[in-house]
Amino acid sequence: MTDSIKKLDAEGDVAADFLEELLDILDMDGDIDISVEAGRAKVAIVADGPSQDLKRLVGPEGRCSRRSRT
């Protein structure tokens, strides 16, 4: 593993830790998936089955809700 991939993986770990804490605060279920793609760290929240909880994190069509823009 190259140094740049190790650095990106470490950045992904930091982001994943933040998201895990956020999910805990919101009392929501989800797993964190970390990968390095195209020279960037990629972090995703995934859930098994049709979880409606995660839909609360994102507005319609992926837009932010009006309240979060203030």
The set of long-range contacts for 46-54, using a CB threshold of 8 Å and a minimum separation of 24, is: 53/28, 53/29, 54/28, 54/30
Rank 2-6, 14-18, 57-61 by mean pLDDT and report only the highest.
14-18
Q: What is the pLDDT of residue 70?
A: 47
In the chain, what percentage of residues exceed pLDDT 90?
A: 47
Cα distance between residue 28 and residue 41, in whole Å: 23
Cβ of 45: how many Cβ atoms within 10 Å?
Answer: 20
Longest dimension (CA), the chain: 42
Give the single-character DSSP code of 62. G
For the chain, the average pLDDT equals: 83
- Report pLDDT digits (tens) over 33-58: 999 999 999 999 888 766 667 777 77
Question: In this predicted model, which residue has the larger pLDDT, 19 or 68?
Answer: 19
